[in-house]
Amino acid sequence: MATYQARGDRWRAIVRRKGFKAKSRTFPTKTAARIWAERIERELADQEARGHSENEDPTIGELVDWYSGYVRRMKGISLTQKGNLTRVKEGLGSIVARRLTPGDIIEHVRRRRQGEHVNGAGHRVPPCGGATMNVELGYLSEMLKVSKAVGQLRLAHDPVAEARPTLRLMKLVSRPAKRTRRPTQDELNRLKAHFAESRWRMKVPMEDIIDFAVGSAKREGEITRLLWADLDAETRTALLRDAKHPRSKEGNHRRFPLLAGMWDLVQRQPRDGERIFPYEPDSIGTAFRRGCVALGIHDLRFHDLRHEATSRLFEQGYSIEQVATVTLHESWQELKRYTQLRPESLHRDGFIARPD
């Protein structure tokens, strides 16, 4: 039952319920105090009905640990998801999960955007973009919903959904900007020459991997998952296991053609195990970034090679269906955002009808 005490020009609300610690808070008006007290009473009644005690309330940090293990057992957890949940834990970990407020989330996002976030090693994390925070909040929201659904968390509202309008208004979150960056042939040649010079001290054959990425439109993780056993010499195709899918990639095995010189490039790789390219995706990404820095190549990512591959296929005259057979996109809507055609490519014969 709630009681209210006048304290000068402010009001203090006190909520007491058997089996729970008394809760109190002071507000500038009695109306605000009553609204808060009624919400707390509802939450405590819900907890009592479910048979939970106050000591069973997990913090966000404890919930992240539980959820990571739960998801890993059910469907596996990606490195992206793991990294985002780690940053959630670092920023919000000490807060009792059911008491998480939209204000807590807004402050966490502000600190991340302004470079005030400190990681587990005590180092400040560089500022991030609005699209990055959108992804992080998506994983936080997913965790809260699953935890509530399986009875791990008592949550009367969705603080992430409540925080989003304000975050958008303050421009703290945003949709990812469309990438239009394509490497020039000169940049690709310089990168391959750079890696050729460093071949004596590198395990990863970056020259071949760059050529394969541009020729196959595959991501780092997809390149390193390809198996020798999944090659078909008769059709010159390869099988990509667990191909990316908007809903579920597990078991989504897709076969794609190895065009041009890609079959020969694959065949010259050493057969040292099951995988054709037995390397870590992070090692490829790190080597590529370092190569770009060393050569003064700005704003180029390894994933841009997939854009380049897709655009080249269209420029060579392949149809949407044929390009999708290589890139393994599910629809044109997904495929077209990877396409940045160079206007000059349309001057080739067969693309533009000559005027009468």
Q: What is the pLDDT of residues 45-95, one digit of tens each?
A: 876 776 655 546 788 998 999 998 888 877 777 778 888 999 999 999 888
Residue 137 is predicted with a pLDDT of 95
- Please give the residue that has the higher pLDDT: either 74 or 173: 173
Whether pTM > 0.75 for this model: the answer is no
Residue 356 is predicted with a pLDDT of 41
| Mean pLDDT value across residues 168-189 | 90
Residue 178 is predicted with a pLDDT of 77
Residue 349 is predicted with a pLDDT of 47
Return the structure tokens found at 91.
């920023």
Where is mean pLDDT largest: 61-70, 195-204, 207-216, 305-314? 207-216
| Mean pLDDT value across residues 236-249 | 77
Share of the chain above pLDDT 90, in %: 49
Q: Which domains does the chain have, with CATH numbers?
A: 2-55 (no CATH), 60-169 (1.10.150), 185-347 (1.10.443.10)
Of 335, 333, 322, 204, which is closest to residue 270 (Cα–Cα)? 204
Binned at pLDDT 50, 70 and 90, residue 340 comes out as low
Residue 99 in this model has a pLDDT that exceeds 70 = yes
Residue 355 is predicted with a pLDDT of 42
Residue 239 in this model has a pLDDT that exceeds 50 = yes
Q: Hey, how many other C-beta atoms are within 10 angstroms of the C-beta on 282?
A: 12
Q: 188-204 pLDDT, tens per residue?
A: 999 999 999 988 888 89
Q: 252-283 pLDDT, tens per residue?
A: 789 999 998 999 999 999 998 999 999 999 89
Question: What is each CA distance from 310 to 32, 219, 307, 318, 319, in whole angstroms?
Answer: 57, 12, 5, 10, 11
| Mean pLDDT value across residues 211-236 | 95
Residue 351 is predicted with a pLDDT of 46
Measured CA angle at 219 (ends 82, 345), to 5 deg = 140
Q: What is the mean pLDDT of the chain?
A: 86
Q: Hey, how many other C-beta atoms are within 10 angstroms of the C-beta on 309?
A: 21
**Which residues are bridge partners to 237 per DSSP?**
232, 257
Strands 10-15 and 237-240: unpaired
Share of the chain above pLDDT 70, in %: 90
| Mean pLDDT value across residues 286-314 | 93
| Mean pLDDT value across residues 201-222 | 94
Residue 157 is predicted with a pLDDT of 85
Indicate the SS3 state at residue 139: helix
